[in-house]
Structure 1
Amino acid sequence: MSVPKSKTPVDNGTGDTGGTGDTGDTGDTGDTGDTGDGPTPTAGVYWAKDDHAVAVVDPDGEQTARFTVTHDKAGLRELVRRLLRAGVTEVGIERPDGPVVDALRQAGLVVFVIPPGQLKNLRSRYGSAGNKDDRFDAYVLADTVRTDHRRLRPLLVDPPVTTALRQTVRARRDLVAHRVAVANQLRAHLQIVFPGAVGLFADIDSEISMRFLERFTTQDRADWLSPRRFGSWLASVGYCGRVDPAVLHARLADAPRGHTGHDTTASAAVTAAYIAVLRALTGQIAELAAQISEQLDLHPDAAIFTSLPRSGRVRAARLLAEIGDARGRFPTADSMACLAGVAPSTRQSGKAKAVSFRWGADRELRDAICDFAGDSRHDNPWAADLYRRARARGHDHPHAVRVLARAWVGVIWACWTTNNPYEPDRHRALQRILNQDQPAAA
């Protein structure tokens, strides 16, 4: 079955760019690639769960091969073999990780990542129908690598030590999100069956709260407590004593009464189930935190990120994991700020100009940088001044944190590219703030 020889496939309304979608070898004609210094064929791989659509175009834009491969070892081996036979050296794909990307890179192919949102906009180059088809998207990826090569940056992969740290950091973050969700479910449950336990201690998922709910699972059991008995129990579990037991007992007594009598059996079982899940999550989060600390100690860039104010261990590890250590990924501080979504997006047409939130960003990187920046203002006078001035201009808290994060990106990028830890004495903007405060204090 032949492949249509057209410079640009025609979007016929179904996304099919020609041919019948035969998954066999429809255009692999042997070693047709240019082995010299001239242009070589390019390929596009549209990633899917079970199989992947592949298209190959020659330097003139003609589609010379189109096929699909299964998502298994044999399929990936077939993908690499056919791309190399076709003389392909550069491949476009939507995602930056996974078995397909690993197979392509191990074969020595240069990988360009074209995100799904960008691919969606590129489809309009080839037709106005706007329909979605995997084979058509594979062609768009391949042709974009051919035509927009100078605008694309080859995929840079972090070394295994950074990749492993990123996996651990993200797994811990996911477990923390699960713990918050379970704590919210427990709180909602207790507000109905045992309201007094909800506001008794600062956090519903704290150790003292869980110990209390394990001992006093229902309103009936809590009614046994008197101020003296409550104080004795708190002392037996090692309560820190920041709040007087009489005050805690008053909170319990003043709260609305919960379920009593025969209705409490099922309620107590549900409470115990939530507590068991919270304990399991808390334990695993602590295990991952210890693992993160060990991985951070072994990383060559650890000193850079742990030197930042209020970075701690987990936060420093998260910053390192999301930024990575492939220096070529961010040639300028602006490139890091844009990918992190802390630089505003400007739209201008004629006399109209709008500056708005940047939606196209790496959300993991943005969350890591903004989390650090938002807390840094409590320990760094320069950061506190930037945040205060942003709020004075009318920005809400998230906007002010992004303004501060944009400023921190410049500092982090300078430390990251020079392999030097953050030194407050060499931070000129910080020193100016400190020097201004000294005469005022005098």
Structure 2
Amino acid sequence: MLFVGDDWAEDHHDLEVQDERGQVLKRARLPEGMAGMSRFHEIVASFLPDDAQPSQVRICIETDRGPWVRALVSGGYQVFGVNPKQAARHREVLGNSGAKSDKGDAHALADMARTRGHQLAQVAVDSDVAEAVKVVTRAHQTLLWERTRHMLRLRAALRDYFPAALEAFTPLGLTSPAVLALLAKAPTPASAARLTISQISAALKGRRDIAGKAARIQQVLRSEQLGQPEVVAAAYAGAVRALVAVITTLNTEIKTLEGEVEAHFGRHPDAEIYLSQPGMGVILGARVLAEFGDATGRYVSAKARKNYAGTSPITRQSGRSKTVHARFIHNDRLVDALHLQAGCAILHDPEVRAYYDELRARDVGHNAALRQIGNRLVGILHGCLKTRTVYDRTTAWQHRHDTAAA
């Protein structure tokens, strides 16, 4: 067996190769890319017999994604993607001086692969379709977060110089095309007060009760409000125009990416199973699939999937003290998707709603109840994926009825 520590950077990799006794056989710095990967194969091959298999090489690296890791896994090596915090703790075991270098990190990773390989999780590569779903769903969600940030900036600007706009437009949504069109046309209180009913109605085309909404908006825009001097209001108007343009572009790109998410997610063989889950539509299903991945054997049990999702609690016990806490270190994108799924499920699935009502009756807070529901739904999803079956309400919640009957 060979044990390799790979301390990666953006443009290079520091390697250390050890044998089974921990003796250092080779140290090298390789460039990122094809040239570096070719050199990596040459170094490994120089220390292995001709009849050796790639699986006789264990590689420890502080990442589990990227072209380099994918190439290593495709080469048949045993690749372990470790958390940087794990690597830092192991480095402290080897020496407590506090010294740190790229060569030292490579040495610690190689030693970690040699001494703790049986405790580490091997990198499992997702399918190409799942990788494509991850790319488009993360891009889609990032743009949604960016739109929210710009909307909050727009709201803050309007509050400072144009409070009537907030009162008039907030019920419609500050990121809606109608509001953006009206702000682009009339970004100052004076110009907004001159908007006619026909102009406002044209922006509201496609909504219900256009006449009533247009009259209310005009009345609010023409009401007396606190404001800023004309020159300051003009400056704010320039900033608002820029924010409106950015949000308008984000709206267009979000809609385009939404179509990409639906297309890529629809090609995945597990799409039907995900869509059958309570509270899960195309976008949420694609997000959950993207963050869980579809690599075979990545989650050995429902508990392992729940732990990765961050929905399962953690217990801290020392002596007579025992406390249970929510997990605060988790995949934010996955936790966000599961929280939204739980919130939707209590509205559409009677079994989920009954479980939610039971938790609330025990004085469990709303968010804590949603977290527990999400934890249960992750276990149900794991069972469906394991058995290759769609969600069945009776099967998923039968244990609750059996417990109640007993």
TM-score by length of 2: 0.89
Deviations 1:125-144 (A, max 9, x none): 21222433222221222222
Task: Give the structure 2 partner of residue 340 of structure 1.
Answer: 309
Q: Does the aligned pair in 2 maintain the 1:424–1:430 contact within 8 Å?
A: no
1:253 Cα deviation from its structure 2 partner: 4.1
What fraction of aligned residue pairs are identical, expressed as a percent? Answer: 30
Deviations 1:113-172 (A, max 9, x none): 111111122222212224332222212222222222222232110110100110000011
Q: Does the aligned pair in 2 maintain the 1:80–1:103 contact within 8 Å?
A: no
SS of equivalent to 1:45: strand
SS of equivalent to 1:314: helix
* Rounded Cα–Cα distance in structure 1 between residues aligned with 2:367 and 2:299: 24
- Map 1:298-377 to 2 at 5 A: 298-377=267-346
Task: Give the structure 1 partner of residue 190 of structure 2.
Answer: 220
Q: Which amino acid aligns with 1:220?
A: A
Q: Does the aligned pair in 1 maintain the 2:5–2:15 contact within 8 Å?
A: yes
Task: Give the structure 1 partner of residue 36 of structure 2.
Answer: 75
Q: Does the aligned pair in 2 maintain the 1:200–1:251 contact within 8 Å?
A: yes
Task: Give the structure 2 partner of residue 161 of structure 1.
Answer: 129
Q: Does the aligned pair in 2 maintain the 1:56–1:66 contact within 8 Å?
A: yes
Deviations 1:386-436 (A, max 9, x none): 333334444433322211111111111011111111122433349949x99
SS of equivalent to 2:348: coil
Return closer, same or farther for 1:398/1:80 CA change in 2, 3 Å cut-off: farther
* Rounded Cα–Cα distance in structure 1 between residues aligned with 2:352 and 2:399: 8
Structure number with higher relative contact order (C-alpha < 8 Å, ≥ 6 residues apart): 2
Would you say 1:208 and 2:178 are equivalent positions? yes
Task: Give the structure 2 partner of residue 105 of structure 1.
Answer: 73
Task: Give the structure 2 partner of residue 144 of structure 1.
Answer: 112
1:236 Cα deviation from its structure 2 partner: 2.4
Task: Give the structure 2 partner of residue 30 of structure 1.
Answer: none
Worse-superposed segment, 376-385 or 212-221: 376-385
Q: Does the aligned pair in 2 maintain the 1:197–1:252 contact within 8 Å?
A: yes
Would you say 1:84 and 2:54 are equivalent positions? no
Task: Give the structure 2 partner of residue 51 of structure 1.
Answer: 12
* Rounded Cα–Cα distance in structure 2 between residues aligned with 1:44 and 1:115: 14
For residue 201 of structure 2, the aligned residue among 231, 235, 239 is 235
Q: Which amino acid aligns with 1:57?
A: Q
Q: Which protein has the bigger helix share? A: 2
Return closer, same or farther for 1:195/1:156 CA change in 2, 3 Å cut-off: same
Would you say 1:95 and 2:56 are equivalent positions? no
1:335 Cα deviation from its structure 2 partner: 0.1
Worse-superposed segment, 178-187 or 240-249: 240-249
Q: Does the aligned pair in 1 maintain the 2:189–2:221 contact within 8 Å?
A: no
* Rounded Cα–Cα distance in structure 1 between residues aligned with 2:276 and 2:251: 27
SS of equivalent to 2:14: strand
- Map 1:286-305 to 2 at 5 A: 286-305=255-274
* Rounded Cα–Cα distance in structure 2 between residues aligned with 1:118 and 1:56: 20
1:72 Cα deviation from its structure 2 partner: 3.6
* Rounded Cα–Cα distance in structure 1 between residues aligned with 2:386 and 2:272: 13
Deviations 1:304-326 (A, max 9, x none): 11112231211111111112222
Return closer, same or farther for 1:75/1:424 CA change in 2, 3 Å cut-off: same
Return closer, same or farther for 1:250/1:388 CA change in 2, 3 Å cut-off: farther
* Rounded Cα–Cα distance in structure 2 between residues aligned with 1:68 and 1:192: 55
Can you give the 5+ residue segments of structure 2 that lack an aligned partner in the other structure?
A: 49-55
Q: Which amino acid aligns with 2:26?
A: A
Deviations 1:341-383 (A, max 9, x none): 1111112222222222223433333333223223221112222
1:49 Cα deviation from its structure 2 partner: 1.9
Q: Which amino acid aligns with 1:137?
A: D
Return closer, same or farther for 1:117/1:360 CA change in 2, 3 Å cut-off: farther
Q: Which amino acid aligns with 1:184?
A: L
SS of equivalent to 1:407: helix
Q: Does the aligned pair in 1 maintain the 2:279–2:342 contact within 8 Å?
A: no
Worse-superposed segment, 317-326 or 351-360: 351-360
Task: Give the structure 1 partner of residue 52 of structure 2.
Answer: none
Task: Give the structure 2 partner of residue 120 of structure 1.
Answer: 88
Task: Give the structure 1 partner of residue 249 of structure 2.
Answer: 280
How many residue pairs end up in the alignment?
392
For residue 405 of structure 1, the aligned residue among 374, 382, 406 is 374
Task: Give the structure 1 partner of residue 24 of structure 2.
Answer: 63
Worse-superposed segment, 161-170 or 242-251: 242-251
Q: Does the aligned pair in 1 maintain the 2:309–2:334 contact within 8 Å?
A: yes
Deviations 1:38-61 (A, max 9, x none): xx1111101112322111111112
1:302 Cα deviation from its structure 2 partner: 0.6
Task: Give the structure 2 partner of residue 415 of structure 1.
Answer: 384
Can you give the 5+ residue segments of structure 1 that lack an aligned partner in the other structure?
A: 1-39, 437-442
- The structure with the larger Rg is 1
SS of equivalent to 1:241: coil
Q: Does the aligned pair in 2 maintain the 1:195–1:255 contact within 8 Å?
A: no
* Rounded Cα–Cα distance in structure 1 between residues aligned with 2:28 and 2:229: 67
Q: Does the aligned pair in 2 maintain the 1:219–1:260 contact within 8 Å?
A: no
1:264 Cα deviation from its structure 2 partner: 4.1
